[in-house]
């Protein structure tokens, strides 16, 4: 199998992070724990969700709050959930969690 393009991995990483946020893994440290991604990558990915019209907001205090998805835009979150194992495999992230 050929290596996926940076465009595809970036897109899938955003889908995965949106899914995680929508399912309660909604802080940078928790996203890092589940995926193994570096802090900066997690932060940049959350910031980049808006480029896909996935709207997020931070709710709560800085130390105790978390992100939430307020609008998935044109992204079908059911498709993301259905293909979650494939997304994680393509990104070489753990398939549990």
Contact 78, 71 (CB under 8 A): no
pLDDT in tens, the chain (97 residues): 588 999 999 999 999 999 999 999 999 999 999 999 999 999 999 999 999 999 999 999 888 899 999 999 999 999 999 999 999 999 998 876 5
Of 93, 74, 80, 66, the C-alpha closest to 18 is: 80
Is the whole model's pTM more than 0.95, yes or no? no
Look up the CATH number of the domain holding residue 75.
Answer: 1.10.10.10
Residue 52 structural domain: 6-91
Residue 96 is assigned to a structural domain of this protein? no
Number of structural domains, the chain?
1
């Amino acid at each position: 199998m050929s290596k996926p393009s940076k465009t595809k991995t970036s897109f899938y990483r955003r889908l995965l992070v949106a899914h995680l946020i929508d399912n309660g893994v909604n802080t940078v440290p928790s996203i890092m724990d589940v995926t193994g991604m570096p802090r900066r990558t997690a932060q940049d990915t959350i910031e980049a969700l808006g480029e896909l019209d996935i709207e997020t907001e931070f709710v709560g205090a800085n130390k105790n709050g978390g992100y939430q998805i307020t609008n998935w835009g044109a992204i079908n979150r059911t498709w993301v959930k259905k293909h979650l194992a494939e997304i994680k495999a393509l990104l070489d992230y753990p398939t549990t969690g």
